[in-house]
Structure 1
Amino acid sequence: MFWYGHDPSGWGWFTMSVGMLLFWALLIVFAVVLFRAVPRSSDSGTKTGTRPGPTPEQILAERFARGEIDEEEYRSRLAVLRPGCTGYGNP
């Protein structure tokens, strides 16, 4: 008695399905954002998948090798980068 009309119609099933999909999508997005926000420690001390960039000395040597700067400028800039070094051999 009085049970008529309590079953969801076709649109009711559709809205429940869409609502459930949105609920799980929001839950997954929240979990991913939380996972990325939590800092993780690494044994190597650097981020995984990244390589350290070239040192200033390497960049200077590349510029000298390409001919962008002459030997005098190379040695003077190298002396600035390495205090106590005259640019000839190792300090």
Structure 2
Amino acid sequence: MMYWNGGGWAWMMFMPLLWIVLIGLVVWAVIRLTHQPTGHGNGPEQRWPQRETAEEILDRRFASGEIDAEAYTEARQRLAAHSPRRQ
């Protein structure tokens, strides 16, 4: 029994292409909806958030009150002693 009033070989030839396109659109939509970029623009630096440096994490923890001034200064000194020198 043939469908679509005897479409025959033409439908059989284009049906796999139709499925590939439909599956591709579904995959694209899922990726587009689940991955939320942080910035506006096309550059890779604007799509994903930058990782915090150790100094930034330390500053944030001190500012929020997670660590006291003594622990902050000690950690800052340790970071300064082990971090590579910038020129």
TM-score by length of 1: 0.47
Larger CA Rg, structure 1 vs 2: 1
> Could you say which structure has the higher helix fraction?
2
TM-score by length of 2: 0.48
